[in-house]
Amino acid sequence: MPHEAQYPNKLATAQAWQTLQSLAQPPHSTDIRALFEADPSRAARFSARLDDLTIDFSKTAIDQAVLDALQTLARSAGLSPFRDRLFEGARVNETEGRAAMHMALRDGRAAGLGADTATGRDDASGIAADELAKMQAFVARVHDGSLVGATGLRFTHVLNIGIGGSDLGPLMATEALTLADGPILHPRFLSNVDGLGMAAVARDLNPATTLVLVASKTFTTQETSTNAHAARAWLVAALGEAAVGQHFAALSTNLDAVAKFGIKPEHVFGFRDWVGGRFSLWSPVGLSIALAAGWPAFAAMLKGAAAMDEHFRSAPFAENLPVLLALVGIWHVDVCGYRAHCVLAYDDRLRRFPAFLQQLEMESNGKSVGLDGHPVQHPTCPVVFGEPGTNAQHSFMQLVHQGTSVIPVDFILAANQDHGSPDAHRILAAHAFAQAEALLRGKTLAEVEAEMRARGVSDAEITFVAPHRVFSGNRPSITILQSRLDAFSVGRLIALYEHKVAVQGCVWGINSFDQWGVELGKVLAGNLLPDLAPGAPPGAHDGSTNALIARFRALRQEA
């Protein structure tokens, strides 16, 4: 049953929402440009720092009255007790009866974090530390060549087979940590059950030098299981059945299924149910990160996340980066009515970060039922999308600048580059700052007409073209700036968004840690699969689905 501390002071919360709504109405200004005209130095007051990390939210329509009201909302929604319960290891994942103690994975045994379970209390920090030590020893053996493949050759590639959090997190972090200097083991990721993915693996990799990780807590996820058996067949065909134990490792808790698959017990790395899939890259699910980037990089990433954990746990709301990031998002979604959110990382190493955030945010907070079992009374998670800058400037940023919907943007960049092209990095940064400034300032019709007239453009052409070159401006953005992108700052950045998600879930009164919406489609797919077989009788589906199945079978050319 839900814990009473999860429920806010409903009267105070309702009043806080009403206050926020009133602050979005005249005579209160929601014009960001007007806020800067009234206070050109507002960036100093509407930004926050943790060491070298700065979050500037001054290019939003938030003034001190709005910020105060947002913090009042957070307090009335029970954010302080929620945060306490989260770090105490209480079962904040109410609908599944689990804690959400991924923080224990990244701060060592001395942190002393525990997690309540259905059967008692886990020493979460101790369990995580033991598993990390086992992972570190395994990584060391692979890297120093004491653990080799069945033919005696050293491993050169690591193939991670997983889906969802067992794929997006490791893939994103591995690219972030290895793109600059290159990997120690070359990583490959296989997630989609489409057979072309496995075909590419078979074409590009040498089974004799490939270490395969199967990332599935239950070892029963259909997509992962299908790909794992395909990889097993590929390896057995080349090296024989006896090679499976030498070339496979499992990131799972289903020891019986893992043993049946042929994986050695010493190659199995587990984690408890208080680690959710989309929060699991810090666990053995991140083994591919350590194998590709090296243990020091993986450990530094954990330390960066732990630094953000401590900040989130102890900093007052007015200085707390995850809290501020979450509250700005709530202002945009629930008060301003913005239903999409764009993330632009001006660093190619973070090219998969928007995809990672899509799962983190939309799977966590894409909910319409509150913890009290009733429909929520306000919008929750926006649609999250993004690409690396400057690529995005030549695709969907047209819509962000001139479309009919206002879409807030997070700009993420580092001040220092890790390559030998400082001029390129300055150009990159100039584009990031310019995009944010353009969203803020826009360009009026009078400005466009004056520019065209100065170039000698005819009045007829000005009349026709000028309206198309007008930018409304007053479009909000947040800039997240840090010294450089390294393993520590990558971990810190990921944890920043993890805690942002938890804060928003608390304020919205939903459970950010379950994902029942993922399950229905998986169940129906299992029920529907037999109906696709040749000669199968019609299934009990709706008319459209039955017609599509019939047409699929008619078009299909069975061998």
The residues annotated with a catalytic role in the active site are 363, 394, 522
Instruction: Give kind and range of the element (H or E) at residue 219.
Output: none
List of long-range contacts for 118-122, beta carbons under 8 Å, 24+ apart? 121/89, 122/89, 122/272, 122/274
Rounded to 5 degrees, φ, ψ at 193 are: -75, -10
Q: Are 317 and 384 in contact (CB under 8 A)?
A: no
DSSP state of 471: B
> Around 490, how many Cα atoms within 13 Å sit in the side-chain half-sphere?
31
Strands 340-345 and 409-414: parallel
Q: Are 471 and 403 in contact (CB under 8 A)?
A: no
Phi-psi region of 164 (alpha: psi -120 to 50; beta: other; left: phi over 0): left
CA-wise closest residue to 224 among 175, 127, 273, 159: 159
Round to whole Å and give the CA distance between 100 and 89.
7
Round to whole Å and give the CA distance between 547 and 555.
12
Cis preceding-peptide flag for 390 (omega within 30 of 0) = yes
DSSP state of 32: H
- Helix, strand, coil percentages (3-state) for the chain, rounded to 5, are 55, 10, 35
Give the 3-state secondary structure of residue 337: coil
DSSP 147-201: S--TTSPPP-EEEEE--GGGTHHHHHHHHHHHTTT--SSEEEEE---SHHHHHHH
Q: Are 487 and 301 in contact (CB under 8 A)?
A: yes
Tokens at residue 157, please?
């590639």
Q: Are 196 and 202 in contact (CB under 8 A)?
A: no
CA-wise closest residue to 512 among 17, 181, 86: 86
Contacts of 58 (CB under 8 A, 6+ apart): 36, 42, 43, 45, 46, 47
End-to-end CA distance of the chain, in Å? 53
